Amino acid sequence: MLLITDRPEQSHKLDRLLSLWGPCAVVDLNRPVAVRPASRHLLISDVDLSNRASVEAVRRTLASHRSAGTPFLCLLRDPSPRTAVQANAIGASAVLSADAPAKVLLGEVGRMLNGAGDSQPVQQQFVAASVVVADMLERAARGDALSPAALDGGIEAINRAADQRDLGAWLDMVWSHDDATYQHCLLVAGLAAAFAERLSFPETARRLVTGAALLHDVGKARIPLAILHKPGALTAEEMRIVREHPRVGYEMLRMQGGFEREIVDAAYSHHEYLDGSGYPRGLRADEVSDLVRMITICDVYAALIERRSYKAPMAPEQAYGTLAAMTGKLDPDLLRAFRQVVLPN
């Protein structure tokens, strides 16, 4: 995708949200930098169309990057007839309010990328969950309170997707996300929801497991993106900063209040191992709750199968074999049950 904007202070947030559907390059009309022409599946503009100079700048940028048939979504800040006419004049395939909710924006982008037909239920649930993850991490990064209602909606969406018992479809959509942190949250939450469903947990327990998975890495919102998105190995100091995220997430949830004790504990303890070799507290055996044991299994498995620029993803069989070889670290009974989630045949 290519995002054309004249308000760079907003572009990073929009770019990161759009990364749900894949890589997104940005052209800032205030500081034009050459963006190498490439095959674009979708062009998006977030520009003040009441400014004639901006309209002409958008027109020139489109001419450089638009091929025949490439859809163009124009975000309108002023939904007046005049700006709608301007959008049509520069060739918009669709228009949407720049203030449209993230769910509406992502749904429209998905429709334009994947065709005009109605999306499948799992895709609809995935978009809803992605919006929740984006909102959660943005709020956490700013130091704002998380929205319990939004989180409940994300938990519901992920659990209903798990009801379909189509983990492969969920994984395919996760891989389309270009932001590593969003991808990981959605991956662990999808695995945990499928795990709880496979264990026939009642709905209340399923919501607790999925909620814990959704929030387990919330502390990473306070880790600099330059470290989280670094393409190579981390330095010792960068690793020290990353390893603070369980404590940061715990303090964040504890200070806000209103979250179940088990969810707060999962944010703090999901890197603990039963043999005491984990962090940040070196918990052992019965000090690690059953829910945390589930989240840890999903978290480690997710890290093994994730695609990164610096490592190839493991195949499911190899990733599960790696978990099975972690003798003494993971709960063996839960690990056997997890096999039916990721290697059902």
Distance CA 325, CA 330 (A): 9
Instruction: Say how far apart CA 323 and CA 161 lie, in whole Å.
Output: 25
DSSP characters over 103-171: HHHHHHHHHHHH-SSPPPHHHHHHHHHHHHHHHHHHHHHHTPPP-HHHHHHHHHHHHHHHHTT-HHHHH
DSSP letter (8 states) at residue 304 = H
CB 243 within 8 A of CB 219: no
Among 52, 72, 38, residue whose Cα is nearest residue 6: 52
And the tokens for 187? 């991956």
CB 74 within 8 A of CB 87: yes
Pick from 184, 187, 172, 182: nearest CA to 134? 182
Tokens representing residue 109 in the block: 């982008």
Q: Which long-range contacts (CB under 8 A, 24 or more apart) does 10-14 make?
A: 10/46, 11/46, 13/138, 14/46
Closest CA to 109 of 141, 89, 134: 134
Active site members: 220
Element (H, E) at 302: helix 290-305
d(CA 206, CA 146): 21
Closest CA to 11 of 49, 54, 60, 47: 47
Within 10 A of 238 (CB to CB), how many other CB atoms are there? 16
